[in-house]
Structures are given as structure tokens and as C-alpha cells.
């Protein structure tokens, strides 16, 4: 027989209090938590007061207008997320036993994946209409931060983080190409040496971008220096800057869509290009995936064609 699990907190705190506390901590605001949960602000404050009473320590401290977690608050936040996640999983498992695929899918992707992720998600939601999906688009550095905080179910990145703390698998090719205006003098040339384009002014993505990292690594490997003309935080802005004659760039081919011919842009035939990158999907190692997340992963595997 299993031993009884005893906890005095289990007798004194309610699920609703945990939910209210989790939202306040995640949003760093009582007001925003109240809005999210459709409660009044005094109700949220009162629930948190009761929770503090049960824990026996303050959970928040006021810093100016914002609230931040105390050490006890941090510990409770981690526990609250685990408990609520577990309940979410339970809900989905029960739904699966009932033969339904319902629940939430929280997907976070790097900026460049926005060119295909919504389409894949759309297709998935059509196959599983009971699933509620959300998509967070951010750059690689911020995505890794979100992963450490366990804010989403699955993550799509170009280059997966190297540490063994993460578990990623390739699922689709991501060719990185050199993009220039179609009027560029090199537009008609073939097998252009990398040293030749190293003289060109480059427009590159912001620090923290996976595309930028790939480009820098490629140049370092060939012991060449990039001639950086401008740094821009979005693939779309870079394409406009190329059209404006400010320089050339290395971008994921996915950013160019289907018909590049009508855009005024062209792909230069540079030796060693495209850089053969892969899209990877994954999460922190040891994360227990929900039924919905596992279903989505299977769906990606069936759609992708990793090399």
C-alpha cells in the first residue's frame, strides 16, 4: 500500500489561491492577474494575504509600482506552476481516455520560424479542433530564457542549445542563403568565392539571433571578417534595407516565401551556400510533455523532412 502523503499546507491552501498567486507572480502585477482571471483586485489581494498567512512568510515585496517575489514566493511559484501543470496534464490524460484530444498547446518559436510555424499550427488545429494553441515569437536568446522558466510546451529553434540540459531533434531543413538586390553586379555570377562577398556591406540581425550566429560562425570558420554596415532586429526590415541598396544579407530561405522573382531580391550563388541548417524542435530534458504536446511533436515528425 502507498504511504500517506502529508502536508499541512495541503490542508490550508486552496487551488484557487495557488492559481491567483501564480498569475500575480508571472505577470508581476496584482491588477493584471485580476484582469486575466476576471476577478477584482481586492479579491486577488485577499487571496494572496491568506496564502501568506498559511505559508507564514511574505510572498511578494513592493518595488516601486511593481511587485517582485521574495525567496519564499519564488519557491511557491515553482511549486504552483508544477502543481497547475500537473493538473493540466491530468485533464488532458482524462480527455484522452475519453477519446478526445483537447487542451492547450503553448509553442514558442524563434523569429525566423514565424514564416512557417503559424501555417503548421493552423493545420494541426484543423486536425484537432479541440486544441487551444498559442504561439510566442521571439529571438533565440529570449526563447532560451523562456525555456529555463518552463513557460511553454515546445520550442522551435534553428541551432539547438548545446548543453545536455536540453533535448532537441531536427525536423526540417533551414537553408541560409545570401540575399541581394536583383540589380546587384554579382547577381548573374556563379560560384562566387566567400572572400568576394566578404567585401560587400552586410546587414545583419540583432545580437542573440540564431541567423546572425550562423553567419558569424561561417565567416569565422573561413577566417574571414564580416563588413557590417547595419544591424536590424527583423528579417523584414533587412529585406527592405537590401532593396534600399544598403547591402546584402544572409537570411533563412523561409523568409523569402515562394516567389522571390517579383520581390526585387535575388539569391547570390555563393560557394559553400546555402549553409545547411536545420530547424529543431525540443524542450528542457526531463520535461514531462502533455498529451497535446506529444501529439504535436508526432505531427511535426510526420510533416518534417529532416536530413
Residue 24 touches ligand PGA, criterion: CB under 6 A: no
Span between the terminal Cα atoms of the chain, in Å:
50
**Stretch near ligand PGA under the rule CB under 6 A, chosen from 20-28, 52-60, 87-95, 106-114:** 106-114
Paired strand residues for 300? none
Q: Closer CB to ligand PGA, residue 158 or residue 282? A: 158
Q: Closer CB to ligand PGA, residue 25 or residue 250? A: 250
In the complex, the smallest distance separating the C-beta of residue 284 from ligand PGA, rounded to whole angstroms, is: 17
Residue 110 touches ligand PGA, criterion: CB under 6 A: yes
Beta strands in 58-215 (DSSP E): 60-63, 66-69, 103-110, 131-138, 154-157, 166-181, 202-205
Residue 107 touches ligand PGA, criterion: CB under 6 A: no
Task: Return the residue of 17, 111, 290, 295 that touches ligand PGA, per CB under 6 A.
Answer: 111
Residue 239 touches ligand PGA, criterion: CB under 6 A: no
- Cα dihedral 124, 127, 128, 129, rounded to 10, equals 100
CA-to-CA distance for 102 and 96, rounded, in angstroms?
8
Residue 278 touches ligand PGA, criterion: CB under 6 A: no
**Stretch near ligand PGA under the rule CB under 6 A, chosen from 39-47, 192-200, 209-217, 281-289:** 209-217
146, 152 Cβ separation under 8 angstroms: yes
Task: Return the residue of 23, 107, 157, 256 that touches ligand PGA, per CB under 6 A.
Answer: 157
CA-to-CA distance for 152 and 110, rounded, in angstroms?
13
Q: Closer CB to ligand PGA, residue 103 or residue 210? A: 210
Distance, CA of 95 to chain centre:
27
Task: Return the residue of 25, 52, 159, 172 that touches ligand PGA, per CB under 6 A.
Answer: 159
107, 138 Cβ separation under 8 angstroms: no
CA-to-CA distance for 294 and 231, rounded, in angstroms?
38
Task: Return the residue of 210, 219, 256, 296 that touches ligand PGA, per CB under 6 A.
Answer: 210
Residue 108 touches ligand PGA, criterion: CB under 6 A: no
CA-to-CA distance for 96 and 158, rounded, in angstroms?
32
Task: Name the residues that contact ligand PGA, by CB under 6 A.
Answer: 110-112, 139-140, 157-159, 205, 209-211
Amino acid at each position: 500500500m502507498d504511504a500517506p502523503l502529508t502536508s499541512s499546507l495541503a490542508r490550508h491552501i486552496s487551488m484557487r489561491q495557488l492559481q491567483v498567486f501564480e498569475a500575480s507572480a508571472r505577470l508581476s502585477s496584482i491588477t493584471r492577474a485580476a484582469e486575466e482571471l476576471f476577478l477584482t483586485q481586492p479579491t486577488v489581494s485577499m487571496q494572496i494575504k491568506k496564502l501568506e498567512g498559511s505559508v507564514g512568510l511574505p510572498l511578494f515585496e513592493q518595488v516601486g509600482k511593481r511587485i517582485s517575489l521574495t525567496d519564499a514566493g519564488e519557491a511557491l511559484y515553482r511549486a504552483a506552476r508544477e502543481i497547475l501543470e500537473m493538473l493540466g496534464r491530468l485533464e488532458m490524460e482524462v480527455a484522452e481516455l475519453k477519446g478526445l484530444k483537447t487542451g492547450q498547446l503553448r509553442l514558442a518559436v524563434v523569429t525566423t520560424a514565424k514564416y512557417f510555424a503559424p501555417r503548421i499550427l493552423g493545420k494541426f488545429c484543423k486536425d484537432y479542433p479541440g486544441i487551444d494553441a498559442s504561439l510566442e515569437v521571439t529571438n533565440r536568446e529570449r526563447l532560451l530564457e523562456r525555456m529555463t522558466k518552463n513557460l511553454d510546451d515546445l520550442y522551435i529553434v534553428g541551432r539547438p542549445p548545446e548543453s545536455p540540459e536540453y533535448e532537441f531533434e531536427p525536423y526540417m531543413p533551414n537553408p541560409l542563403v545570401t540575399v541581394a538586390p536583383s540589380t546587384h553586379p554579382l547577381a548573374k555570377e556563379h560560384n562566387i568565392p566567400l572572400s568576394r562577398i566578404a567585401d560587400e556591406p552586410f546587414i545583419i540581425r540583432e545580437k542573440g539571433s540564431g541567423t546572425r550566429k550562423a553567419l558569424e560562425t561561417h565567416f569565422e570558420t573561413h577566417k574571414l571578417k564580416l563588413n557590417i554596415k547595419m544591424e536590424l532586429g527583423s528579417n523584414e526590415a533587412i529585406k527592405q534595407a537590401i532593396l534600399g541598396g544598403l547591402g546584402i544579407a544572409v537570411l533563412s530561405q523561409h523568409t523569402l516565401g515562394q516567389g522571390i522573382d517579383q520581390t526585387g531580391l535575388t539569391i547570390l550563388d555563393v560557394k559553400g551556400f546555402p549553409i545547411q541548417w536545420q530547424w529543431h524542435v525540443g524542450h528542457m530534458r526531463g520535461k514531462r510533455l502533455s498529451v497535446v504536446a506529444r501529439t504535436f511533436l508526432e505531427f511535426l515528425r510526420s510533416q518534417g523532412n529532416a536530413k
